């Protein structure tokens, strides 16, 4: 009897405590993070690390500034910053911002780092490796150009000095040596011209890659759209990964659309194939232009020769043989360039079409939400129904 009396006697006290606001005060101190659509995974890093699916309740003890990552299969993973402050008896959103300026500055200093910082590791790695390769090529070609230019300058000075000395009267051996030096000077001139164009072309390609990387960092990152309600809830809106969005990224660079859709291996394959074919076409094109420079130098050298002597005849025969060889190499380089350019264009188009038409990978079964089903029968027989809710 005493037990029943104390139990029922405690009910008025409990009701009084609830009325005074214990339950209500706790709810007012909380802030709930929501997403549209619901069910996304939150990751907040700041004074503490918080992970959970929406709706995600936060208490007053968790105030502070957080870096936020929101992820849901089939939707763009978005990043941003939230400042949560406890004021007027409730936890509220004081500030929300994205990292666009930070991404642009990072990618401006080193291409790809802005993407990597925001979790787009594969895309960032593609930009970093591509621009790194172009930078190494530009530095190498700069060194080769300086070397070729110095050698041409030295040979040209020696030719002028030799010509001045031979003008006072020289032998047939001196004439042969002069024509050899003249031939070498024209060759070095064509090499220096080709090296200069190769360097400038590579610097231009590097600038284009750098600019595309900045465009990707500034415009192709999911926005951080946050709305605060009057009921203590903050909602983050997510954008669906649609076919046109995937295709637009592959149009920027082959493979980016596949990486964006959650298919990094396929995207990497497209990027490697397109880059390899593009570099092959570029190298063949530069070699082709270098061959044209060499042909032009040989023709100018032949025109500079006078008529008469055996030395001139031998020089002309050598120039004709070398010109024929240069023409054949130039034609081969032109054919290689055209084939590689066709392959690069085909890979480029295939990446865009694949990104536009292919379906993104299906989410895992565990992430699809609660499941209702039969559970194993107990030892005593019978059956039961269980509900599995992921946390």
337 has a pLDDT exceeding 50: yes
What is the pLDDT at residue 261? 87
| Mean pLDDT score across all residues of the chain | 81
What is the pLDDT at residue 68? 92
Q: What mean pLDDT comes out for the span 237-254?
A: 91
Q: Which residue has the tokens 């298919």?
A: 263
The model's confidence at residue 303, banded by pLDDT at 50, 70 and 90, is confident
Buried-state track 188-222, b at ≥16 Cβ within 10 A, e below 16:
bbbbbbbbbbbbebbbebbeebbebbbebbeebbb
What is the pLDDT at residue 173? 58
122 has a pLDDT exceeding 90: no
Tens digit of each residue's pLDDT (9 = 90 or more) over 255-292: 999 988 888 899 999 999 999 999 999 999 999 999 99
The model's confidence at residue 247, banded by pLDDT at 50, 70 and 90, is very high
Q: What mean pLDDT comes out for the span 333-342?
A: 95
Total residues belonging to the chain: 391
Q: How far apart are CA 94 and CA 65, in angstroms?
A: 9
Please report, for the chain, the start and end positions of each structural domain, with discontinuous segments joined by +. Answer: 242-360
73 has a pLDDT exceeding 60: yes
Task: State the number of CA atoms in the 13 A half-sphere of 112 facing the CB.
Answer: 15
- In this structure, the strands spanning 31-36 and 233-237 are parallel
What is the pLDDT at residue 380? 45
- Percent residues over pLDDT 90 in the chain: 38
- In this structure, the strands spanning 56-58 and 64-71 are unpaired
Residue among 53, 35, 45, 106 at smallest CA distance from 81: 45
Residue among 267, 362, 353, 356 at smallest CA distance from 74: 362
At residue 168, the 3 state secondary structure works out as coil
What is the pLDDT at residue 373? 38
228 has a pLDDT exceeding 80: yes
CB < 8 Å & 24+ apart, contacts of 164-169: none
- Percent residues over pLDDT 70 in the chain: 80
CA-angle at 288, arms to 286 and 293, nearest 5°: 95
The more confidently predicted of residues 87 and 22 is 87
What is the pLDDT at residue 250? 92
What is the pLDDT at residue 363? 52
Tens digit of each residue's pLDDT (9 = 90 or more) over 134-147: 899 999 999 999 99
205 has a pLDDT exceeding 70: yes
Give the ranges where the chain is alpha helix by DSSP (H): 2-19, 22-29, 100-109, 113-117, 121-167, 172-219, 243-252, 256-260, 264-304, 310-357
The model's confidence at residue 42, banded by pLDDT at 50, 70 and 90, is very high
What is the pLDDT at residue 340? 95
Q: How far apart are CA 107 and CA 130, in angstroms?
A: 13
Q: How far apart are CA 261 and CA 351, in angstroms?
A: 12
Look up the pTM and report it.
0.70
| Eight-state DSSP code of residue 30 | -
The model's confidence at residue 61, banded by pLDDT at 50, 70 and 90, is confident
User: From residue 207, how far is each of 125, 130, 355 by CA, in Å?
Assistant: 17, 12, 26
**Cross-strand partners of 70:** 42, 78
């Amino acid at each position: 009897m005493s037990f029943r009396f104390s139990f029922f006697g405690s009910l008025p006290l409990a009701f009084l405590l609830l009325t005074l606001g214990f339950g209500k005060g706790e709810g007012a101190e909380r802030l709930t993070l929501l997403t549209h659509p619901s069910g996304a995974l939150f990751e907040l890093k700041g004074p503490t690390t918080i992970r959970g699916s929406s709706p995600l309740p936060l208490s007053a003890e968790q105030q502070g500034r957080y870096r936020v990552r929101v992820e849901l299969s089939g939707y763009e993973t978005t990043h941003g910053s939230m400042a949560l402050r406890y004021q007027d008896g409730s936890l509220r959103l004081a500030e929300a911002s994205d990292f666009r300026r930070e991404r642009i500055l990072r990618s401006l200093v080193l291409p790809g780092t802005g993407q990597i910082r925001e979790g787009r590791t594969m895309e960032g790695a593609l930009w970093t490796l591509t621009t790194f390769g172009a930078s190494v090529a530009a530095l190498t070609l700069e060194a080769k150009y300086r070397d070729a230019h110095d050698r041409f300058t030295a040979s040209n000075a020696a030719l002028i000095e030799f010509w001045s000395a031979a003008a006072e009267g020289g032998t047939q051996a001196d004439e042969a040596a002069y024509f050899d030096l003249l031939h070498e000077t024209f060759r070095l001139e064509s090499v220096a011209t080709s090296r200069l164009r190769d360097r400038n072309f590579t610097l231009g390609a590097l600038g284009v890659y750098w600019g595309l990387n900045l465009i990707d960092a500034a415009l192709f990152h999911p926005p951080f759209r946050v709305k605060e309600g009057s009921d203590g809830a903050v909602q983050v809106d997510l954008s669906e990964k649609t076919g046109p969005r995937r295709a637009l990224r592959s149009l920027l660079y082959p493979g980016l659309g596949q990486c964006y859709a959650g298919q990094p291996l396929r995207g990497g394959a497209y990027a490697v194939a397109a880059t390899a074919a593009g570099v092959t076409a570029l190298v063949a094109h530069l070699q082709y232009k270098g061959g044209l420079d060499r042909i032009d130098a040989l023709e100018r050298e032949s025109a500079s020769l006078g008529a008469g002597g055996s030395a001139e005849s031998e020089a002309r025969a050598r120039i004709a043989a070398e010109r024929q060889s240069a023409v054949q190499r130039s034609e081969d380089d032109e054919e290689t360039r055209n084939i590689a350019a066709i392959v690069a264009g085909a890979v480029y188009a295939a990446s865009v079409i694949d990104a536009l038409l292919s379906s993104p990978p299906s989410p895992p079964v565990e992430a699809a939400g609660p499941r209702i089903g039969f559970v194993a029968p107990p030892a005593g027989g019978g059956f039961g129904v269980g509900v599995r809710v992921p946390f």
